[in-house]
Amino acid sequence: MHPGWRLDVAVQTPAHSALGSLLSYASTVPMSPGTLVRLPLGRREVLGVVWACAERTTDDDTRELKAVAGALDALPPLSESWRDLVSFAARYYQRSLGEVALAALPPQLRELSSQQLARRLKRRAAAPQGEAALPPHPVPPEGAGLAQLGPGGAQADVALPARLDPPRGAGLAQPGPGGHVPAVEIEPDAALPVDLSAEQTAALARFEAGNGPFLLFGSTGSGKTEVYLRAVAALLARDDAAQALIMVPEINLTPQLEARVRDRFEARFGAGAVVSLHSGMTNPQRLASWLAAHAGQARIVLGTRMAVFASMPSLKLIVVDEEHDPSYKQQEGARYSARDLAVWRGQRECAKVILGSATPSLESWHHSRPAESDDPGGRYVRLSMPGRIGDGALPTVRGVDMSLQPRKTVLSGALLEAIGQRIARGEQSIVFLNRRGYAPVLACADCGWKSECPYCSAYRVFHKIDRTLRCHHCGFTERVPRACPACGNPDIAPVGRGTERLEEHLAELFEAVKRPDGSAVRIARIDADSTRKQGALAQRLAEVHSGEVDVLVGTQMIAKGHDFRRVTLVAAVNPDGALFSSDFRAPERLFSLLMQSAGRAGRDASYLATRGSTAEMWIQTHHGGHPLFQALRRHDYPAFARQQLDERRAAGMPPFAFQALVRADARTQEAAQEFLHAANTAAEALSHAAQVARYPAVPLAIQRVANVERAQMLVESASRIALQRFLADWQPLLHALRREPVGKGVIRWLIDVDPHAI
């Protein structure tokens, strides 16, 4: 009797179970790697991905293997390149293979049986053109047997490259005779009424002729999105099967871009040619988009960081818009960087990659540095577009020295006058404050009580609109007390200011001011609270675009990506906090946020001309002489980047070193730090320990969340490979410590590679 086949399957096992990356199961027939299977795990039946298939022999081990329950064989197997991406991500970010693989699949796929999936695919295949019908693929009858093994075989493990980024020259275009890379002519799209600027034309020409990866460094309003869309259009026109992935950092940036992409491409390539992938979609919507991409029917996938794992068999172009944005770094589970994985995936699949930003991350800026006499230069190709479309000027940056203002001044008189002038002309202003809620804290002046969260080492924020105190860390919410809970004083008052209070304050200040048509001034707010309900964000953005709103108050949600044509003034109310943060990345994030905010003003040069107006960015600060603000006044990102990189080089910080955080969560801070101290001691015996610096364990900035104490330890090395090998060797020791007495008080631990916050 034939002994059958052994399948090595990636399964999502419990965190820190130490069960291994792959589990073995028995099958009566062979299966192709990448096949989705349902199989027993404990008392449950779960979804898994076949990673390898081998024929069992009589000399094979005699272990009794559980049999797979069935295969989702109506679906083409996941490609080798997709499995390589998952393998690399799991290995690099120190997570289990099954965790990354299953998290990359749509949740609803895990719930479907083979018969249910087959029925769904039949309905999609029979759908009229334009309803995301799948291309021809044989769908077996219900109850069909397991998939047959196709050509190929088990996937070999891919060695970790010396660097996460691809070597210079990796990409699509191949050199012709004599090593010359032929230029590719950019065909004009008859459906595009927009004329390209000279800078856009030059950037596209270099992109088509080169290999990349490319860093498109373009000022706000320079037309980076048009460059992306032209590159996509050229690709799809010359390759009938090619697919493109366009990534944006946040869900709230997708509607405007999605509408633009659909308008551009659906008339030419069909109604199902563009699909979205992000966490704001329902599970059925995500599954439909994923199936269309996996089958090759969707030519363009537009998504957030999760889309980097989309199964796209003919992927030829990846665009990462606003590549500097911290939202590309996953902060739960496998803490991957979607931007960095996009670059790696482009190398693996010979797809071109464009990273675009007006304020690139310092890592990308460093990787795109030009060659000099003593420096071969970076591995990225920098494409520069410093000018705005239509010869529009960047906004004038005006500073307000708050140390010269009366005490407790919220908005200076000069700023209020400037906003009033905009209202009188029918223009719009944005007032930016990166703190939501009415006030950061509610306090009693008599006894000193403050609205602390009982479960976190943080204050609960006062939200006046619903009279609640809400913790933004654990979510604990209570009604505002009628009197101080400690002393009974009824006179408890808000301290500090959030967007909700600022909105109220502006409404009071401009109550007597009228718009040009004589109507009352309209103040609106966009933050995580005001857009909590479904459709609220789209409605509020539509009101801004239509001109119904005169002054928009908001957090960083409004500071980037939006194209508000009537905005001529942007003001940052209180940006000083990040200047002196212990996190070395804080200045970079602040400069980016302020420069992106400034970019919302004056994007339409013709509108400014008809109004006889100018674009301005106002910054209220106590530290106007700080180098960050001096560079911002000149819109001089290169100068800011040079100063920051010099400091980081001297201090041995990224991108000149590589870091990871090991974090422990426990019921007490002592238990968390004791576990990390034991882990540090155990690491001394590892082979690469001498190449890795390990720092003492410290509490997190918010050390207690939901009654869980948190501590972390930083590890750092000048060698990425040394750090990776050290972490891989350290993992078994951490698992072992978790089972020892020192780990009994620990709830969980994790490793965060290339952390964004220290």
Residue 605 host element (H or E): helix 605-611
User: What does the alpha-carbon distance between residue 674 and residue 744 come to, in Å, rounded to a whole number?
Assistant: 11
User: What does the alpha-carbon distance between residue 623 and residue 594 come to, in Å, rounded to a whole number?
Assistant: 15
Residue 492 host element (H or E): strand 492-495
53 is in an annotated binding site: no
Two tokens, residue 582: 């212990």
User: What does the alpha-carbon distance between residue 481 and residue 468 come to, in Å, rounded to a whole number?
Assistant: 9
Two tokens, residue 698: 């410290």
- Closest residue by Cα to residue 150 from 66, 299, 29, 305: 29
350 is in an annotated binding site: no
Two tokens, residue 96: 């289990």
Extract the runs of DSSP E, i.e. beta strands, from 269-376.
274-277, 300-303, 315-321, 352-357
User: What does the alpha-carbon distance between residue 65 and residue 189 come to, in Å, rounded to a whole number?
Assistant: 58
- Closest residue by Cα to residue 51 from 72, 82, 94, 13: 82
User: What does the alpha-carbon distance between residue 617 and residue 594 come to, in Å, rounded to a whole number?
Assistant: 9
Handedness of CA 474, 478, 480, 486 (dihedral sign): negative
In the chain, the largest separation of any two C-alpha atoms, in whole Å, equals 91
Cα 49 off chain centre by:
26
Residue 546 host element (H or E): helix 536-546
- Closest residue by Cα to residue 317 from 434, 202, 220, 239: 239
Burial of 164 (0-12, 13-18, 19+ CB in 10 A): buried
DSSP characters over 682-746:
HHTTSTTGGGSEEPPPEEEEEEEETTEEEEEEEEEES-HHHHHHHHHHHHHHHHHHHHSGGGTTE
Which residues sit opposite 662 in a β-bridge? 713, 751
User: What does the alpha-carbon distance between residue 290 and residue 284 come to, in Å, rounded to a whole number?
Assistant: 10
- Closest residue by Cα to residue 281 from 307, 259, 257: 307
User: What does the alpha-carbon distance between residue 307 and residue 611 come to, in Å, rounded to a whole number?
Assistant: 42
User: What does the alpha-carbon distance between residue 120 and residue 447 come to, in Å, rounded to a whole number?
Assistant: 64
User: What does the alpha-carbon distance between residue 367 and residue 376 come to, in Å, rounded to a whole number?
Assistant: 11
Provide the edge-to-edge strand list for the sheet that holds 23-27. 23-27, 5-11, 44-55, 36-41, 70-71
Q: Are 236 and 377 in contact (CB under 8 A)?
A: no
User: What does the alpha-carbon distance between residue 238 and residue 266 come to, in Å, rounded to a whole number?
Assistant: 17
484 is in an annotated binding site: yes
User: What does the alpha-carbon distance between residue 665 and residue 673 come to, in Å, rounded to a whole number?
Assistant: 9
Burial of 138 (0-12, 13-18, 19+ CB in 10 A): exposed
User: What does the alpha-carbon distance between residue 424 and residue 521 come to, in Å, rounded to a whole number?
Assistant: 10
Residue 662 φ/ψ, nearest 5 degrees? -110, 120
Q: Are 254 and 304 in contact (CB under 8 A)?
A: yes
Annotated binding site: 444, 447, 453, 456, 471, 474, 484, 487
Annotated binding site for Zn(2+): 444, 447, 453, 456, 471, 474, 484, 487
